A and B are shown apart, each in its own frame.
Chain A
């Protein structure tokens, strides 16, 4: 269990054995209701080989309903590649990510205090199966651990806590533990991110991102002393953050960073041929409970993202998620604005999102542009995977825009001809 940042990553290495008579093709994972509420993503892979030669084959994970769990337990089912016969074993690695699961305690801290948080989990894995042997390792970001529940055998060495090994646990056994430790890594949470990707067939993809950022750690109380903050950076504001990093695609141009007041000049863009990094600083450092609202926009060349599929349709291949590193997005609204005249839009995404269509009126629009809106909650950096939006477009529609301008100017000429031809003199 990796507790180094505010996004908790839990890696499970399961060695499953089929003791029944019929082949099993599914393995069930159980989560407590509190965990399930904050679960961002569950991924599983089948491993073969050892150490450096390990190969990972990703497996399908789906949410499932099983009747026989204690009340509120949520289940996920991992589908194995080949069914497991009686007596066979298989090794699975499961990664699941929890957000908003580190509870700050004390709830409010002053500028000079360090941030301490609670982490609640179980020393024994919650599982619908009988567990023969298990060990839990918890990794904290620093060596300061105020307290942790002792469930024998438990040991602490530096930044690692070890619970176990525990033998022969019945299904659904749960032993709550509470770890109180120091975590000063930036608790950057974006409450709402609205990302608009506008495709123009004349050669540009324009991305506009509207952020509402908040520091989701222990709330700041008392006064903020700028003098103390700047003169003693190691002793004050250790849990605050002022730098944010956004990873953008290569060949990005016209990047801007502004908020309600205007342009914010504290930003740096570093580009190379594989990626671009925008490092920016809000107007003030963010302490617990402080918010910042801003807009970041940039343009990208069309040929990097728009492709033609074999059946003749066009598709946009873009990365889902938020470009900011180490941040959780509570609500992500991704809008793909397709050019005027596009028909039959469909989106292909590897995970569950809410989709609907909208209309947007922009420059030189008559019938409006179709917008594919994808909404997702609880987005973490693991969700930054490519997705596609397919649509059909007849290239002749591109001529509609210059012809509209030409017709407008021609009407001006016709008006001038008619004025010059009209004879309004009273005298013949």
Chain B
């Protein structure tokens, strides 16, 4: 009876694709964050929207940079 092997949560071959995808989405959200900052005036800005866009963008960028590190061989 072979013992149960532990594998990574994401298959190894998917790391590069996943990293490109998540980083792309994260950068698009970062772009929309800065566009929002640039196009609205200080009075009409909504802090809630700024922070939500920033939070979602940072989650995607965080995971994307982790997958990028793993895909490059730095297994953190």
Contacts and interface: CB of A to CB of B under 8 A. Distances in A.
A417 interface: yes
A228 interface: no
A202 B12 CA distance: 8
Given A401-B66, A405-B65, A203 B58 contact: no
A302 B6 contact: yes
A406 B33 contact: no
B4 A413 contact: no
B2 to A, nearest CB: 9
Nearest to B37: A420
Contacts of B5: 303-304, 306-308
Nearest to B59: A406
Interface in A374-428: 395, 398, 401-410, 412-414, 416-417, 420-421, 423
A364 B69 CA distance: 11
Interface residues of A, number: 41
A203 B67 CA distance: 12
A301 interface: yes
Interface string A203-217: 110100000000000
A314 interface: yes
Nearest to B33: A413
A314 B6 CA distance: 8
A230 interface: no
A402 B62 contact: yes
Contact of B58 (A198, A398, A409): A409
Nearest to A201: B8
Looking at chain B's contact residues, is the secondary structure mostly helix, strand, loop, or mixed?
Answer: helix
Interface string A279-311: 000000000000000000001011110111100
Given A303-B6, A306-B6, A410-B54, A203 B61 contact: no
Contacts of A169: none
A206 B54 contact: no
Contacts, number: 100
A391 B9 CA distance: 19
Contacts of A18: none
A363 interface: yes
Chain B interface size, under 10 / 10 to 19 / 20 to 34 / 35 or more? 20 to 34
Contact of A406 (B6, B15, B62): B62
B6 A307 contact: yes
Contacts of B6: 201, 302-303, 306-308, 314
Contacts of B3: 307-309
Interface string B33-65: 100010000100101001100110111011101
A306 B4 CA distance: 9
A363 B66 contact: no
A398 to B, nearest CB: 7
B57 A413 contact: yes
Contacts of A201: 6, 8
Contact of A409 (B15, B42, B62, B70): B62
Contacts of B37: 416-417, 420
Contacts of B51: 413-414, 417
A155 B16 CA distance: 69
Instruction: Sort A-B residue pairs by CB-CB distance and give the 4 closest, nearest first.
Output: A406-B62, A413-B54, A203-B8, A200-B75
27 contacts: A201-B8, A202-B75, A202-B76, A203-B7, A203-B10, A203-B70, A254-B73, A299-B75, A306-B5, A306-B6, A308-B5, A309-B3, A405-B63, A406-B61, A406-B62, A409-B65, A410-B58, A410-B59, A412-B58, A413-B54, A413-B57, A413-B58, A414-B51, A414-B54, A416-B37, A421-B42, A421-B47
